Amino acid sequence: MAADSKNDEAVAQTRWVTCLGMGVNVALSAIKVAVGLGFASLALVADGIHSLSDLVTDLAVLLGLYLGARKPDTTHPYGHGRLETFSAVLVAVVLIGVGGTMIYYATVAIARNEVAVPHWPVLAVAVLSILAKETLYRITKRVAVKSHSTALYANAWHHRSDALSSVAVLVGYGVLYLGFDHGDQVAAMAVGLMIILVGVKIVGDSLRELTEGAVDPQTVAQVMKVIDGHEEIRQWHRLRSRRVGRELFLDVHILVDPDLNVAAAHEISERLEKALDEEISCPVNLTVHIEPDLPAFRKQGWRE
């Protein structure tokens, strides 16, 4: 029940912050297109359309959230969290595409020796975009970390990619006064490369989950600390972990006093599950294999 409560809270927060992002994207798109048309800035018009296209990734996150939050059933007894992971991969691929596109157009602009001098309203919109999208990135990232949502984390970086593209506009405007005509293009290429690297990392993390990789070492260490804190557990081994969406699945063998009855041994496993649920921020699903503390059951490498 505690895991369900954590899941419901995470779903609510993820839905809220994603809808907030959709609202900001629509507003920024309208402002950028209006100012771009008013001051003949095709770049700003294109940026406005790009902001509108961000709705696609927002919808991908919401769709992944809707499908991934469905309760376990006979066909998916471990839940549908992997569908949210697939949406994270989709958003990450979009990120890689955005970064590659920035590098491509910056390279073309340098090859054509294009030099653009933005008007002050264009710069004002760029500043507004930076403030709005960086704020949105920080809010979304905070919720993503709290809810352990890879898809939301990817979308947070999509917000930051918009902010960084606007930073490139300001950098380009500033270096014009230093006599370097292609500062904005170089800055855009650097930003594009960084966005690609973030996208690749998110894809790698998602593939690790899809291939049943263990959870991160920090979480494993936290789990081990909780297990070690239970004096009733004399020894433990075969700790295994994996993540399905935002949920953590664990199974472990524990050795207890062989004179305990079944009910008492079961109570130890219940207390361990409750402690893990209190210490780990994401929903925890624990399977405990109870063994008597006898020489035949002890392991040489008891934590393996």
Residue 135 pLDDT > 80: yes
Of the candidates 164, 200, 187, the one whose C-alpha atom is nearest the C-alpha of residue 88 is 200
- Per-residue pLDDT, averaged over 277-295, amounts to 83
pTM: 0.60
Of the candidates 131, 136, 129, the one whose C-alpha atom is nearest the C-alpha of residue 156 is 136
> Could you report the per-residue pLDDT of 225-262, keeping only the tens digit for each?
888 888 888 888 888 888 777 678 888 898 988 888 88
- Please check whether the domain covering 2-210 is classified as CATH 1.20.1510.10: yes
Q: What is the 3-state secondary structure (H, E, C) of 183-221?
A: HHHHHHHHHHHHHHHHHHHHHHHHHHHHCCCCCCHHHHH
Q: Residues spanned by CATH 3.30.70.1350 within the chain?
A: 217-297
> Could you report the per-residue pLDDT of 19-36, keeping only the tens digit for each?
888 888 888 888 877 887
d(CA 273, CA 220): 15
> Could you report the per-residue pLDDT of 32-86, keeping only the tens digit for each?
778 877 775 555 666 666 666 677 777 777 776 676 667 766 776 666 667 777 7
pLDDT at position 68, please? Answer: 64
Question: Environment class of residue 106 by beta-carbon count within 10 Å: exposed (0-12), middle (13-18) or buried (19+)?
Answer: buried
Q: Residues spanned by CATH 1.20.1510.10 within the chain?
A: 2-210
pLDDT at position 43, please? Answer: 59
How high does pLDDT run on average in the chain?
77
* 292: β partners: 256
3.30.70.1350, 1.10.10.10, 3.30.1360.20, 3.90.120.10: which CATH number matches 217-297?
Answer: 3.30.70.1350
Q: Where residue 1 falls among pLDDT bands split at 50, 70, 90?
A: very low
The three-class DSSP label of residue 236 is strand
